[in-house]
Amino acid sequence: NAGVMQNPRHLVRRRGQEARLRCSPMKGHSHVYWYRQLPEEGLKFMVYLQKENIIDESGMPKERFSAEFPKEGPSILRIQQVVRGDSAAYFCASSPFGGFDNQPQHFGDGTRLSIL
Amino acid sequence: AQSVTQLGSHVSVSEGALVLLRCNYSSSVPPYLFWYVQYPNQGLQLLLKYTSAATLVKGINGFEAEFKKSETSFHLTKPSAHMRDAAEYFCAVCSSGTYKYIFGTGTRLKVLA
């Protein structure tokens, strides 16, 4: 996928550590979305960000999770004090405009987070 | 509230046989509908999308889907399966003017030689 870049592809953390997941949207895209895919489940919306703004974080767990999309640099999804239940694939998507404008969201290859 | 139901978490077909993956949606407003494919350890790749134009939508890799409002369905089909079609397929719905995709739980397609 030459578009949305996520790193790392795989991340292993021990319980209690912090996990930082990065996402660089496609060129020209200023809207970023994070989704989580638990084993054997579909993707679930977590948060929608524009540059320097969180637009909708209704899908984010209330504690330990935060996201940002600074003026410069990638979007970051941060999970503090990770627990085993955080093990999942985290996908980032981007679009050129907010709201649906006949342009679908483009997804990255995801970060597979494993908690030991 | 919107929702998506994919019937059959696992589907097996023989190579060359018809592929039919089922998706039913629930939406209080006209929906936009998508099919994505996910190969192992990769992200989601858009196969096709329905955006209220033609009800029969043609996508990549020979796939197509038909929007049937009366049945609230958007089933994915391909006339002849190929080994490379083995993957997981996700149906998603989004309301016009919004950004939150609601995904189904996925259907894993296995193609038998």
A62-102 per-position pLDDT tens digit? 999 999 999 999 999 999 999 999 999 999 999 887 655 55
Chain A positions in Cβ-Cβ contact with residue B43 (cut-off 8 Å): 1, 4, 6, 91, 107-110
Task: Indicate if the pLDDT at residue A61 is higher than 50.
Answer: yes
pLDDT of residue A10: 96
Average pLDDT of the segment spanning B42-57: 87
pLDDT of residue B78: 97
CB pairs under 8 A between A and B: 66
Task: Indicate if the pLDDT at residue A1 is higher than 50.
Answer: no
Average pLDDT of the segment spanning A45-69: 94
The closest alpha carbon to A36, from A8, A65, A14, A71, belongs to A65
The closest alpha carbon to B23, from B72, B61, B75, belongs to B75
Q: Measure in Å the smallest separation between the Cα of B79 and chain A Cα atoms.
A: 25
Cβ–Cβ of A100/B99 closer than 8 Å?
A: yes
Chain B positions in Cβ-Cβ contact with residue A99 (cut-off 8 Å): 97-99
A21-30, A38-47, A56-65, B17-26: the lowest-pLDDT one:
A38-47
pLDDT of residue A60: 95
Q: Measure in Å the smallest separation between the Cα of B14 and chain A Cα atoms.
A: 24
Task: Indicate if the pLDDT at residue A113 is higher than 90.
Answer: yes
Rounded distance, CA B65 to CA B75, Å?
5
The closest alpha carbon to A20, from A92, A78, A84, A63, belongs to A78
Closest chain B residue to the Cα of A39, Cα to Cα: B105
Number of C-alpha atoms within 13 angstroms, CB side, residue A87?
11
Q: Are A14 and A102 in contact (CB under 8 A)?
A: no
Evaluated on CA atoms B108, B60, B31, B102, the torsion sign reads positive
Chain A positions in Cβ-Cβ contact with residue B101 (cut-off 8 Å): 33, 35, 43, 45, 105
B62-80 per-position pLDDT tens digit? 999 999 989 999 999 999 9
Arithmetic mean of pLDDT over chain A: 91
Q: Of all helices (H) and strands (E), which one includes residue A94?
A: strand A88-95
